[in-house]
Amino acid sequence: MQRVAEARVVVEGEVVGAIGAGLLVYLGCARGDTEAHARALADRVLGYRVFADETGRMGRSVVDVGGELLVVSQFTLAANVEKGRRPDFGPAMAPDEARTLVDRFCALCTVRARVATGRFGADMQVHSINDGPVTFLLEEPKGGRAPSPSM
């Protein structure tokens, strides 16, 4: 996810999702991901403190500052890139399952923040003005431990 001053997604010349200040979330779904993972990640994204507080430190979340989310599904994040020079997309979740999980993640986030999205499976152009830049990779803890649901 990236902290942005603004971001938008364009598909075939049409803006399909846009936000002002907030977070641009690139969401990759891998085989084995579940609704419990989506709930835990939504809670973490919404509560992650990456915005400045009164002391100038990263002490406020996107919810605290009234920011927005732009969620872009990106199956390439689930690729295995450990060997060779070509990504292996075998670890990525099947498209129908991934669409359901991405939609669920967005619905969970909508409870606490305004959410815009790209278009699942489309060739998208993502435009953003990074704020910082501030970028973080949030993923399931190593060891395969499923996160506990919190939303």
Which residue of the set 2, 34, 51, 75 is catalytic? 75
125 is catalytic: no
The Cα 89–Cα 130 span in angstroms is 28
Which residue of the set 2, 74, 105, 117 is catalytic? 74
Is the dihedral angle over the CA atoms 26, 33, 112, 15 positive or is it negative? Answer: positive
Helices 95-110 and 35-47 cross at an angle (nearest 10°) of 40
76 is catalytic: yes
Which residue of the set 76, 110, 125, 135 is catalytic? 76
DSSP three-state, residue 103: helix
Radius of gyration of the chain (CA): 15
74 is catalytic: yes
Kindly list the catalytic residues. 74-76
